[in-house]
Amino acid sequence: MRPTASPARLSTDSATFEADFRARLHWSAETDAEVEQRVAQILADVRERGDAAVLEYTKRFDGLDAPSMASLELTQAELKSAFEQLPAAQREALQAAARRVRSYHEAQKKASGESWSYRDADGTLLGQKVTPLDRVGIYVPGGKAAYPSSVLMNAIPAHVAGVSEIIMVVPTPRGEKNPLVLAAAHVAGVSRAFTIGGAQAIGALAYGTHTIPNVDKITGPGNAYVASAKRRVFGTVGIDMIAGPSEILVLADGSTPPDWVAMDLFSQAEHDELAQSILLCPDLAYIERVQAEIERLLPQMQRAGIIAKSLNGRGALIHTRSMEEACEISNRIAPEHLEVASSEPHRWEPLLRHAGAIFLGSYTSESLGDYCAGPNHVLPTSGTARFSSPLGVYDFQKRSSLIEVTQAGAQALGAIASVLAHGEGLQAHALAAEMRLDK
Amino acid sequence: MRPTASPARLSTDSATFEADFRARLHWSAETDAEVEQRVAQILADVRERGDAAVLEYTKRFDGLDAPSMASLELTQAELKSAFEQLPAAQREALQAAARRVRSYHEAQKKASGESWSYRDADGTLLGQKVTPLDRVGIYVPGGKAAYPSSVLMNAIPAHVAGVSEIIMVVPTPRGEKNPLVLAAAHVAGVSRAFTIGGAQAIGALAYGTHTIPNVDKITGPGNAYVASAKRRVFGTVGIDMIAGPSEILVLADGSTPPDWVAMDLFSQAEHDELAQSILLCPDLAYIERVQAEIERLLPQMQRAGIIAKSLNGRGALIHTRSMEEACEISNRIAPEHLEVASSEPHRWEPLLRHAGAIFLGSYTSESLGDYCAGPNHVLPTSGTARFSSPLGVYDFQKRSSLIEVTQAGAQALGAIASVLAHGEGLQAHALAAEMRLDK
C-alpha cells in the first residue's frame, strides 16, 4: 500500500487548540520499571565481574561470541584502513566536515572556555581555571542508526577541549562493522575503540574493567537501555544528556519554496517513527502548498513508510495568527532544531528564547547543520532546550575556582566570614577566619 | 568523655599505602533501594495529586499541619522583615557577602557566558546565543544544616544570569523558621519562597502544582531523599549535581602556622561525621605539629564530637615524598576544597588538575571562600571535580547554536552534506541539501 502522510492540522484560532497542542506534544521520557531493573543488574554484574560479564552480555545481546575483550578492540590500523578504503568522495566529505566542525569548536573554546582571573582592590585574586577532562567515553549506536557524523560531533569537541584519551564504544551486532563509523573514528582522532554496546558498555566505561579504562564522562545517544544506564552511572561519571526522539520545528512566513520546507520536515521524520516535525505559519494558503508538496514528494522517498508514520502520529501543521504568535509557541515547545524559513530571519531570532539550534533563512536547511556547517548536531530534545545546551567543548572541560587572599584581604573578609559563620553555628569556620586577623 | 581525634597516618613510602589510601577514600553515593522506591512513590503522588499530596507529606515528614499550600508561602514582606530584624552586624555581613558574590559572578558571566558569532569566508554566520533559564527552583535544607550562605550562593548566580523567577523551597520542621535563611532570601532577590522540603518539594518544583509553578532547573543540596528525587526528575528539569559529604584537602609545605591548618581541617570536619579532611605534606615534623595542634584545639570546639568522629573515621594526615607527589595524589582525589598552604602557591597550582576550588597561600582559608570571597561555595564533591564544575552563572544559562547559510554557502556545504547523508542512508537529509543547490 502506498503510504500517505497527513500531519495533524491545528489552528491557534480553534477553541480546542490548547488540548490538541498538548496531546500532540506529549512524549514521556520515563523508562519502564523492567528496563530499569535489568539495567541495574547488568551494571552491578559488570562492576563485579568486569571483562567476563561484558563478554557474556555481548554474546547474548549482540550475537557476538569473542574469546577475550582484547579481541573486541579495534586497532588504529583498522580504523585507518577503513578510512583509506572509502570512495574518494566520502573520504573528502568526512574530512571537510571534520575541518569545519573543528574550526567552529575552536571558536567556541576561545569565546567561552578559557581560564580567567582578576585582582580586586585588596589584591585578592579571583577567577576560574578551565581544564580538560582526562578521559572520556563516547557511545556510538550500532545497527540501523549508526551515524558516522555522530562520531565527529562527539569526538571533535573532546579533542578541541584537550581531552587526552577518547574511548569509543560501538556495538557491532553479529560482528557487522560500519566502515564509515570506523573511518570517522580515524578522522576524529579517537584514542581507542571497542565493539561493545548497551548497558554493559556504559558499565565498562563508568567502572572500568581489566581491559577497558574507566572514564570521567560518557557522551552519545543510545536506546532505552543505554539511556537508563547513563542515568544510573551519573555521579560516578559525568553524562551529557538523556536524548529523546529528534524534532524539527519550522517557522515559516511563506517566503521559502514549499518543497524545501516539506523536505526539511521529512528529514526529521525519516529518523524514526517517534520523531516530530512541526510547521508553524500564519499563512493558511502556504500551509496548503506545503501539504501538497508533502503528498507529491512522499512516494519518491526511500523511507516513505517511516516518514508517513512519524508525520501521521506526531507531525503537525499549525496555523497561527501571526509570526509573533508562532515564535511564542515555538518557545513553549523549545525544539531541538528550529528553522526560521523567513526572508527576515533576524527579525524573529531575538524572539526565540529556547531551542537547541536555530537555522536562519531559507538556505539554512537543518541537514547542512547536521553534517558540516560546524555547530554540533547533538542537541537537547523533548523541550530540554529550556535548560540545556548543544554538546560542546564546555562538556569536555571543567572549572576550578581560584582564590588567593592577601594578608590585607584576609582582614576585611575575615570579619565578614566570622559573623556569618557564627550565625550558622559553625565555630571552626569562624575561628579559621579569625586566626588570620592581625593581632 | 572528652573527644580525641586521631586522623589516620599514612605514608606514600609504606608498602600498604595504596590499599590504605583507597580504604580511606571509599565513599559510595548509591542510595539504597528502599529510599529509591519511597521517593518514586512520593514523586508519582505529587505529580498526580499536586498540592494535596505536598500538604500531606509536609504534615507527615515535617510535622507541619497547614490548611493550604498558599499558607506555606513566605511573603516578600516576611522575608524583608526577617532581614530588618537581624542584628546590624549580621545585616551588614550578609550584604557585604552578597555584594562580593554578585561581583564575582558578573565577572564570570562576562568571561564565559556571553553570546558570540562570526561569519566564515562564504558569509555563513556561526555562533551561539546565550540566554537565561526562565524559572529555577532552589532547594535549601532546613534543620541542622540550614545555611543562609547557600541561599546567596544559589540565588545570586541565577539572578546574574538573568533568570526572571527564582523559587526557593526550605523545609521548616514543626514550623521553625531560620531568620537568617529568610533574610538571605531577601538579600539575594528570591522571587517566591515556600516552606516545603524533601522529595515532595522536588516533585512540586519539577511537575508544578496548582500553587507552585514548575521550574526549568533545580539546584541546591539535600539529604538522601532529595538527592534521589533530583536524580529521578533529571530530564523533566535540569539539576545541578548530586552532592556527597564535604571535603577539604590541604597541601602543605610547612610554611603555614600549624594551628591555622588544624583549624581548616576542623572547619570541614565540623559539617558532619562523613565529611573528610586530609593533609598532604612532605615534612614529617610539620605533620606532627599539626597533629599536636589538633589535640590542643579540639577540646575548645563547640562541635568537638562531630569533628572527632569525622577525623577518626575519614580524616588522614599523609606523608609524601615531595610536594610534586602530593599534587599528584591530590589529582587522584579531585577534592572539593583544595588549600595550597604554601609560600609558593603559584609553583604548585599549575600541577593541580582536578579540584572544585583552589585556595592559594596561607591567608586563603577555605572559610573565607565559603562565605564572602566571591566564588561559589557549591562545589563538586566525591571526586566529581574530575568532570564537573562549581555552581555558576553558566548553570542558569543555556545556549542555542546559530547558523545562517548564504546561497553561496549552501553550494559548498550542500555537496558535502549530500555525500554524508547518502552514506548514512538518510535520503531526505540529502535531498534537503540538494534542493538548495543552484540549478
pLDDT given for residue B31 in this prediction: 61
Q: What is the rounded average pLDDT of the residues B10-17?
A: 94
| Pairwise CB contact (< 8 Å): A388 & B379 | no
Say if residue B132's pLDDT is above 70. Answer: yes
DSSP one-letter string for B48-117: HHTHHHHHHHHHHHH----S-SGGGEEPHHHHHHHHHTS-HHHHHHHHHHHHHHHHHHHHHHHHH-S-EE
Percent of chain B with pLDDT over 70: 98
pLDDT given for residue A38 in this prediction: 95
Q: Give the nearest chain A residue to B116 (CA atoms).
A: A111
DSSP A322: -
- Tens of pLDDT, residues A241-289: 887 888 999 999 999 999 999 999 999 999 989 999 999 999 999 999 9
Mark which residues 354-413 of B lie under 8 Å from A by CB.
Answer: 354-361, 363-376, 379-380, 382, 384-390, 392, 394, 398-407, 409-410, 413
Q: Is A105 annotated as a binding residue?
A: no
pLDDT given for residue A5 in this prediction: 86
Q: Is A65 annotated as a binding residue?
A: no
User: Where does B121-247 have alpha helices with state H?
Assistant: 148-161, 179-188, 198-207, 224-233
pLDDT given for residue A241 in this prediction: 82
> Taking CB atoms and an 8 Å cut-off, how many pairs form between chains A and B?
403
- Tens of pLDDT, residues B203-239: 999 999 999 999 999 999 888 899 999 988 998 999 9
B429 shares contact with chain A (CB less than 8 Å): yes
Percent of chain B with pLDDT over 90: 88
Q: What is the rounded average pLDDT of the residues B359-388?
A: 96
**Residues of A whose CB is below 8 A from B257:** 435
Mark which residues 81-100 of A lie under 8 Å from B by CB.
Answer: 89-90, 92-94, 96-97
Distance from CA of B398 to the nearest CA of A (A): 5
Residues A248/A366, Cβ–Cβ less than 8 Å: yes
Whether this model's ipTM surpasses 0.90 comes out as: yes
Quote the cell numbers at residue A180. 564509515
Residues B252/B265, Cβ–Cβ less than 8 Å: no
CA A354, CA A379: separation in Å to the nearest integer? 12
Quote the cell numbers at residue A390. 548543544
DSSP B237: B
pLDDT given for residue B4 in this prediction: 85
Q: Place B190 in a pLDDT band, splitting at 50, 70 and 90.
A: very high
CA B186, CA B77: separation in Å to the nearest integer? 9
CA B26, CA B66: separation in Å to the nearest integer? 42
pLDDT given for residue B221 in this prediction: 87
Q: Give the nearest chain A residue to B374 (CA atoms).
A: A126
Q: Place B99 in a pLDDT band, splitting at 50, 70 and 90.
A: very high
Share the mean pLDDT of chain B: 95
Q: Place B121 in a pLDDT band, splitting at 50, 70 and 90.
A: confident
The pTM for the full model equals 0.95
Other residues' Cβ atoms within 10 Å of the Cβ of residue B67: 8
DSSP A251: E
The β-bridge relationship of strands A192-194 and B8-11 is unpaired
- Tens of pLDDT, residues B274-293: 999 999 999 999 999 999 99
**Residues of A whose CB is below 8 A from B130:** 112
**Residues of B whose CB is below 8 A from A414:** 368
**Residues of A whose CB is below 8 A from B385:** 398, 400
pLDDT given for residue A29 in this prediction: 59
DSSP one-letter string for A254-303: S-S-HHHHHHHHHHHHTT-TT-EEEEEES-HHHHHHHHHHHHHHGGG-TT
pLDDT given for residue A245 in this prediction: 86
pLDDT given for residue A91 in this prediction: 97
Picking from B260, B419, B426, the nearest residue to A90 by CB comes out as B419
Picking from B180, B216, B419, the nearest residue to A423 by CB comes out as B180
**Residues of A whose CB is below 8 A from B92:** 419
Q: Place B256 in a pLDDT band, splitting at 50, 70 and 90.
A: very high
Query: Positive or negative CA dihedral for A221, A230, A100, A112?
Result: positive
Quote the cell numbers at residue B299. 577540646
Cα–Cα distances in Å, from B238 out to B192, B235, B402? 19, 6, 22
The β-bridge relationship of strands B8-11 and A397-404 is unpaired
Q: For residue A44, with 0-12 CB atoms within 10 Å meaning exposed, 13-18 middle and 19 or more buried, which class applies?
A: middle
User: Where does A339-406 have alpha helices with state H?
Assistant: 345-348, 366-371
Picking from B125, B373, B416, the nearest residue to A93 by CB comes out as B416
DSSP one-letter string for B6-54: --EEEETTSTTHHHHHHHHH----PPPHHHHHHHHHHHHHHHHHTHHHH
| Pairwise CB contact (< 8 Å): A361 & B404 | yes
For A120-240, strand residue ranges (E) read 125-132, 135-139, 165-169, 192-194, 217-219, 238-239
Mark which residues 271-310 of B lie under 8 Å from A by CB.
Answer: 271, 301-303, 307
pLDDT given for residue B224 in this prediction: 87
Cα–Cα distances in Å, from B57 out to B43, B224, B238? 11, 16, 24
Q: Which residues pair with B247 in a beta bridge?
A: B276
Identify the segments of chain A with pLDDT beneath 50: none
Distance from CA of B67 to the nearest CA of A (A): 31
